[in-house]
Structure 1
Amino acid sequence: MTQGTTVTHAMVLAAGLGLRMRPITLSTPKPLVAVAGKTMLDRALDHLARAGIDDLVVNTHWLADTVKEHLAGRDEVVLSHEPDLLETGGGVAKALPLLGHHPFFVVNSDIIWTDGPTPALARLARAWVDAEMDALLLLHPVASAVGYEGKGDFSIDGADRLRRRGEAPTAPLLFAGVQILHPRLFEGCPAGKFSLNILYDRALERRRLFGVVHDGGWYHVGTPEALPEVEALLRREEH
């Protein structure tokens, strides 16, 4: 069975309201909040540039003109504006015509990751098995996630298939906000606003949702109060 794929397109999700980051996000969209000297959006785009991605889509909604102005110098970026917020699934579905017919990356712009020995995007691309997968998620151990306050999302089996936390009190792995999706995942998807979780559940039922466990650092900046701690840890890791 053929393993691995060459990814040429990607989307960065940057349309959210960033409510928990207020008052900062009243005037600055959360993706443009600087953490340790670089905006979270630029961090995501730089990862994708290093992976050789030349066709990039960034969706916008809240303070869209600010994001547009920030990206004015990046010719490889096409904006997908959402007059009404479409959530993760609806946002990607709207941008599908810009994302080609093959597997593509989707990256959240409100998280930060640092790579282990092999870049996370390369690890995902190498792990992709087109005959078996509709979605491949980067996961991170809850125990070493910085700034994360949840109970975890998934467990993973020996074949890298995922299982939801369900009714269990905790799960060992969280969804790290980085993934490869195939356009076929969106066949028959809802119209308008919906979460990617709906499509993950559909893929789970078909045994076509897989994961790769991240081996680098992972940071969530949820509130203004969390910024100093994350910045200090990130600067330490990056230097």
Structure 2
Amino acid sequence: MQTHIDKHWQHQPIRQAMILAAGKGTRMRPLTLTTPKPLIKVGGRALIEWHILALRQAGITDIVINAAWLVDKLQAGIGDGSRYGVNIRWSVEEKPLETAGGIAKALYENQLKPEPFLLINGDVWTRHPLDGLGKNAGLNHSQDVDDVAALAHLLLVDNPKHNRAGDFIYHDGKVLMKPDPQKPEHQEADHNSSEQAREQKTWTFAGISLLHPALFVDVPYDRPYPLAKVLKQAMMTSQVSAEIYDGVWVDVGTPERLAWVNNHLKQINPTT
């Protein structure tokens, strides 16, 4: 695996994206028994359409979408992207490959080009401006691009009620794995130190990131493989950066959260 990001990351805008849409949406049943979760309406618009339009607004028109559940309905509902002013390619999975496995398949089949891309979890809803992602990421630690060691840049949010423990620690521009609470060094930490408190605060991964294809060199493309495993390996060598987003963000994984988003949109736009 290469240990630096290439010149595309530093000096060229991100030109491609992948939307993850292969899940069954089991927590949304019975609705998702007949409707693909990405096509569920949020504010009168399919959830996945929010992402497609946000990508277009950010100038990213080359989009890959993976699919494994109710594929025909999902493809019929979205098409080739022409109605949105983008180009959509479909990466169909006969069996769900999880996030990293699905990305590896898209790279192997040349659906994704071998250059950095923006990844969006199709289950989330936010109005984060995608064209601003990574601009203040602290990736330029060296004047020599070959010395910059960053393979991923994550969007992090404050921990929601359903994930109070959080996913990762964010400190000094880098993302770290949560410490093992059973380890003595964690128990002896000075919790009165403001810097230490900052280090120990956890954040939730928002499901939006910039990723380098080098992350997936050793990931199998024909069997399930989690993204968390890939990211944690990169975190061990300080190759993952991040930024915090304090705007509205929702993991639309349950009927209750779907109702919350719809109510939120009605409040800010009564005609929705």
Q: TM exceeds 0.5?
A: yes
The aligned residue for residue 152 of structure 2 is 135
Q: For 2:225 and 2:57, how far apart are their aligned partners in 1? A: 31
Residue 214 of structure 2 aligns to a residue whose secondary structure is: helix
Q: For 1:237 and 1:152, how far apart are their aligned partners in 2? A: 28
Comparing 190-199 with 104-113, which one deviates more in the overlay?
190-199
Q: For 1:217 and 1:189, how far apart are their aligned partners in 2? A: 33
Q: Map 1:1-239 onto structure 2 (within 5 A).
A: 3=10, 5-72=12-79, 74-75=81-82, 76-96=87-107, 97-115=110-128, 119-125=129-135, 127=137, 128-129=139-140, 131-142=148-159, 145=160, 148-158=162-172, 160-168=173-181, 171-191=201-221, 192-237=223-268
**Cα drift, residue 150 of structure 1:** 4.3
* Equivalent residues of 2:35, 2:70 under 8 A apart: yes
Q: For 1:49 and 1:200, how far apart are their aligned partners in 2? A: 27
**Cα drift, residue 135 of structure 1:** 0.7
**Cα drift, residue 4 of structure 1:** 5.8
Which amino acid in structure 2 is aligned with residue 109 of structure 1? Answer: G
* Equivalent residues of 2:55, 2:130 under 8 A apart: no
Residue 126 of structure 2 aligns to a residue whose secondary structure is: strand
* Equivalent residues of 2:65, 2:90 under 8 A apart: yes
Q: For 1:84 and 1:63, how far apart are their aligned partners in 2? A: 12
Q: For 1:173 and 1:87, how far apart are their aligned partners in 2? A: 22
Q: CA RMSD in A?
A: 2.4
- How many residues get paired? 232
Alignment identity in percent?
34
Query: Structure 1's 101 and 172: CA in aligned 2 closer, same or farther, altered over 3 A?
Result: same
**Cα drift, residue 49 of structure 1:** 0.7
Deviations 1:152-188 (A, max 9, x none): 1112112x10112343599531000100000111122
| TM-score in terms of structure 1 length | 0.88
Structure 1 gaps of 5+ residues are none
Residue 98 of structure 1 aligns to a residue whose secondary structure is: coil
Query: Structure 1's 168 and 211: CA in aligned 2 closer, same or farther, altered over 3 A?
Result: farther
* Equivalent residues of 1:148, 1:220 under 8 A apart: no
Residue 124 of structure 1 aligns to a residue whose secondary structure is: coil
